[in-house]
Amino acid sequence: MRVLQFLVACTMSLLLVACSSTPERLASSEKGKDVVIFALGLVDTDYRFGGKNPEAGFDCSGMVAYIYGRAAGIKVGGSAADIARRGRPVGRDELRPGDLVFFNTRNASFSHVGIYIGDDRFVHAPSTRGQVRIDQLAANYYAQRFETARAYFE
């Protein structure tokens, strides 16, 4: 089943990158693409507070740390707020696949993080509905809570 999910994720990733309408999105880095493909392969993985791997489940920062470490060889860790303190600030209109997006979801700055995958969408591990999933940045809930974005590679 995981192999099928991975193949579907790879296909979706290629379609998202190919269908992007701006040159900036087409110029995304190789590491960013690797991060997106890896992240898409984890969609439907269970949520678990403090979780740091697919067997145990993920919380948002654990998912990001796992994916960045495995797909890009970049060590990020700590809470979403800790991760937000590092990286290069990126404007919402400059987002590229693999960049990190941060939200205020608990009346606390940078309390949630996800991975931008292109086409105004991101992968994240929210506690609601209990699984890693894809959502749109423009969705009312996330649009109202978006705080910033960070890039960790060119």
- Provide the pLDDT for residue 29: 87
DSSP state of 41: T
- Prediction pTM value: 0.83
Identity (one letter) of the amino acid at 137? Answer: L
Q: Which of 150, 70, 68, 53 is nearest to 110 (CA)?
A: 150
Of 16-20, 95-99, 139-143, which gets the smallest average pLDDT? 16-20
Question: Known catalytic residue: 10?
Answer: no
- Provide the pLDDT for residue 110: 96
| DSSP code per residue over 83-131 | HHTSSEEE-GGG--TT-EEEE--SSSTT-EEEEEEETTEEEE--SGGGB
Catalytic residue among 60, 83, 115, 137: 60
**Relative orientation angle of helices 30-40 and 60-67, to the nearest 10 degrees:** 130
Catalytic residue among 112, 121, 133, 150: 112
Q: How many residues does the chain have?
A: 154
Question: Known catalytic residue: 124?
Answer: yes
Question: Known catalytic residue: 74?
Answer: no
- Provide the pLDDT for residue 23: 42
Express each pLDDT in 56-94 by its tens digit. Answer: 999 999 999 999 999 999 999 999 999 999 999 999 999
Residues 84 and 76: their CA atoms lie apart, in Å, by 10
- Provide the pLDDT for residue 136: 98
Q: List domains and CATH numbers for the chain.
A: 2-151 (3.90.1720.10)
Catalytic residue among 25, 96, 121, 124: 124
